[in-house]
Every structure is written in structure tokens, then in C-alpha cells.
Structure 1
């Protein structure tokens, strides 16, 4: 197996991301403004081979998606949100361009964040757990790990990611009085991915929820508002 140097990315995450997934962009930008892009540049060469075992590819692409996202934020920081506004209204064109711009080179080929998510990860792996690992830098996203994904641990890490997300009441909670399941828009946007492995969204959530709830296909669902504010930790 070819060893990919995830250690530089792992070290940056450990230094600038806390255990709640909040990123200290200001300190990162001041102390190591170029380190992340230098690491990402090591994957640009056409000679870099993507012919890798499944778990190594999975760890690689999740790490790259998150690293490219963080690098884009570091270039623009300080910003309050990844959703830019004009005169107080969302600038959807600029927002979509953030994800659709083919600005990232891997193995000599240009990718957008959307390409990595949809054409690589979703298409090739058919793995719904990635939706709790890919981080778009907003509060509504899954929490960013303060460590890299590793090929020999990626399955364990993804399982932990799903559990952490579903057991976070800001992302998923059940109202016993109304018997309604409230959950993140992620379950709506990628509904078909979850239905590949579970008969319904409530059934998928029930697998990981640590408190027993009467969830099944008949459980009413309400989707929570998505918070696009930047997920950041303000340094002293």
C-alpha cells in the first residue's frame, strides 16, 4: 500500500481545531498561512496515483474536501458566513460558485468541491456516512474532526461521526409531545443516499440515537433551519 502523508494535515487540525470542531482561523492565518496550501500542492502532480485501496481513497478524498474548504476560508478570512450577502440578501451565485468552481487540482485534474462530493465520494463509494464527515465550514455542518481521516481507521471514524451528529440536539431531536422528529436539512438534501441503507430517515436515525425513541417510517419529520454562519473559534 502506498503511504500518503496525512500527518501535516493531522498536525494542523490538532493545533487549530478544538474538540467541538471550531476552527481558530485567525491564529491559523497568522501563524501558518501557507502550510495547508503547501501540503495540498503535493497532490497536484499528474504522477500522483489515485489507484489506491478503497479505505485509502476514502480517507484521501474526505481529507482533501475538508482541507480545500478550510484553505478557501483562510484565503478570505475574516468572513461571518460562507453564504455571502448583498444589501442583506443572500448572494446565491457567489455561494454556489464557492462549491462549483473547479479550483482544486488533484493528480493533474481540476475539481470543484461539488465534483469531489458528488462525482467522486457519492458516486464511487455509495457511502451515506460521508455526509457527517464532509465539512463546509458552517455551523450547520457536521463538526470538523481535530484529526485527519486515516485509512486504517476511516470506518471507525465515520461511525463515530454519524453518532456524534445524530446525538447532537442542535442537529437531531425528538419532541415526545408532538411525536415529531426534528433533524438537519442534510437528511432532506441527501435523502436518497440514506434510503439506500435504511427503509426511512427515522429508521436510519434510530440506529445511532443513544436514547430509545419510537422512530419508524410513519414518524413525522420537520427539518431544522440550516445555519450558514462560519464555524469558528475566536482566539483571545
Structure 2
């Protein structure tokens, strides 16, 4: 094995903390480079180890900053929330949240992305948002039907996200918000923000431990507005039991037909897509081919025809810039 320089040792020490991987491969290379599909060693078969040190450092830094390496939490079933009362005809009131969305969501923004006018929210409306979250959190959703529960969790998630931004506004990127109790390197999503039925919950809990594993419906992901430009649009109306299916399906169609959702560069690709399709690929489809078919199902005619014949790779991207006007 070639002698490792002091600079290389420093890089491998940094690498050892990434994703819990062993720092060294059998060839004496940082394992993260071997594990990723972009590992240039597999492609180039470099003969001279020392000559490759600088390119490896550059590639390592690029990979560490790549959205595909920021692994999203897996869906972890939380049985405590998997109860409902289908005989209960009652509905949950989301009127105040609906009013705020209709007032502050910009639908026809020139960028083609729905925006939220965080900087224009009045003190009275901030108080209204707080009251809505407090009143919603006081409800035990398990006493309601599945349809009402779905609307409950989606609205609560989105309202908490808007409140999170307002509490730290002005902010440029939503993933830069730091909240006590959250992993600083993972954004604000793991922080406990609300208590429902005596249980403290984070945005991650709502998305990955309740919505994804219990509903097992990829359309739920189209309804969660994470406040970044590459996220699905924040909708200009609240989700309700009766409108949830149509609202989520329309949100998915709009997202996949947008450039930030799925876009084509030229006549031969490459195909570019939002990182949510990479992070939650198993929610959307069984494999790469099935994912392309799902894109085609939602896509408009010309894009759908292209997708049905596409056999190349997908390049994923994520822009966490705040969805403000």
C-alpha cells in the first residue's frame, strides 16, 4: 500500500464520519468514493495513487455537497397513530389556515413556482396562525376518519413550516434554520415543534413516522410544502377530507410538469428531477423504469412521450432557497 500523506490522512479522517462508513477501502481509498456511483476510481482505474490525490479531494467535496448524499429519513411505522374512527362523520375546521393561504400564497408568480409572502404577514395574522396550530394540536386526530386525519396532518405540517420560517424571518434557505433540539447539520426538521395528544412531534415525525408509513401513498409527498424552491408548491387552499385526493393529484401533476419537478435538457436528455424522487424513490415506484412510467402518467403529452422512451439516467437536484416572492 502506498504511503499516505498527512493531507490524505486528514481527508480520510473527515470521511470516516460520513454515513458511518469505514474510512478505508481495501485499496487504501476513502470508502465514500468507492460507495458512490460517481466514484472515479471505478471509471478511470488510475495507476498512480499519488497523482490522484487532488482530484479525489475535489470529488469528495463535490459529493459531500451533493443533494443525493443527504439521506432522508426512512419511513418508520408508528403504530400509536394508526387508529381512526370511520363511523365519525365530524370534520375538522381548517378555515383560518385556509384564509391565510388564500391571502398570502402567490399562485401566478413569474417563476412558475407558488410563493408565500412571508415578509407581508401581519402581526394579527401571525397570531391567527399560532392560534390555528394550537387549536389543531389540541385535537386528537385518531377520533376522526382516515380522510380527516390525512388533511389534519398535511395542514399541520405546512402550518408548522410556515410558522418556522416566520419565527426566523428573514432567512434565505429553509435548511439553514437552526432550532433547539434539532441536528444542526440536518436543518430544522427533527426539532420537536408541537405536542399532539400528549406526544411531542417534529416535522420528521409527521412525514416519516405517520404520513408515509400509514398512508403509503406517494401523493402525500406532493402535499407537503417544505418551503424550498425545489419542493412541491404550497397550495393556495387548505387540504380537507373531501378535497384531499384531488388536491394531491393536481399538486403532483403540476410538480412533475414543472422544470423543478422533472425537466429535459435537449432532445436526448439528460433527465433532471427533484431530489424527492431520489430520497423517497421506494414510495414512488419499485424501480427506475417504474419511476419513469409514473412521471409519464402525470406528464403532459410531449413530455410523456419522451419519458416513455427514455432509457438514460436521472440527475437529481435540490434548491433549498426560500419560496418567498
TM-score category of the 2 structures, normalised to the smaller one: 0.7 to 0.9
For structure 1, the 5+ residue unaligned runs are 87-91
Give runs of ≥4 in structure 1 deviating > 6 Å.
none
In structure 2, relative to structure 1, the CA distance for the partners of 1:224 and 1:48 (3 Å cut) is closer
Structure 1 residue aligned with 2:190: 100
Q: 1:225 aligns with which of 317, 320, 324?
A: 317
> Conserved in 1, the CA contact under 8 Å of 2:141 and 2:149?
no
Between the two structures, name the one with larger relative contact order (CA 8 Å, sep ≥ 6).
1
Deviation, structure 1 residue 119: 0.7
Structure 1 residue aligned with 2:97: 9
Q: Deviations over 1:143-175 (max 9, x none)?
A: 100110111111011110110001112321234
Deviation, structure 1 residue 93: 3.8
Deviation, structure 1 residue 196: 5.2
Structure 1 residue aligned with 2:279: 189
Give the root-mean-square deviation of aligned CA atoms.
2.4
Q: How does 1:82-121 map to 2 (within 5 A)?
A: 82-84=174-176, 93-121=183-211
Q: Deviations over 1:157-196 (max 9, x none)?
A: 1110110001112321234532432211111000000115
Deviation, structure 1 residue 220: 1.6
Using the alignment, how far apart are the partners of 2:217 and 2:287 within structure 1? 9
Using the alignment, how far apart are the partners of 1:205 and 1:97 within structure 2? 29
Q: 1:27 aligns with which of 117, 120, 138?
A: 120
In structure 2, relative to structure 1, the CA distance for the partners of 1:111 and 1:85 (3 Å cut) is closer
Using the alignment, how far apart are the partners of 1:64 and 1:137 within structure 2? 14
In structure 2, relative to structure 1, the CA distance for the partners of 1:170 and 1:97 (3 Å cut) is closer
Report how many residues are paired: 227
- TM-score, normalising length from structure 1? 0.88
Does residue 39 in structure 1 map to residue 132 in structure 2? Answer: yes
For structure 2, the 5+ residue unaligned runs are 1-88, 108-112
Structure 1, 203-212 or 213-222: larger mean CA deviation: 213-222
Does residue 57 in structure 1 map to residue 149 in structure 2? Answer: yes
Q: How does 1:190-205 map to 2 (within 5 A)?
A: 190-195=280-285, 200-205=290-295
Q: What secondary structure, in the 3-state scheme, does the structure 1 residue paired with 2:189 have?
A: helix
Specify which structure has the higher proportion of helix: 2
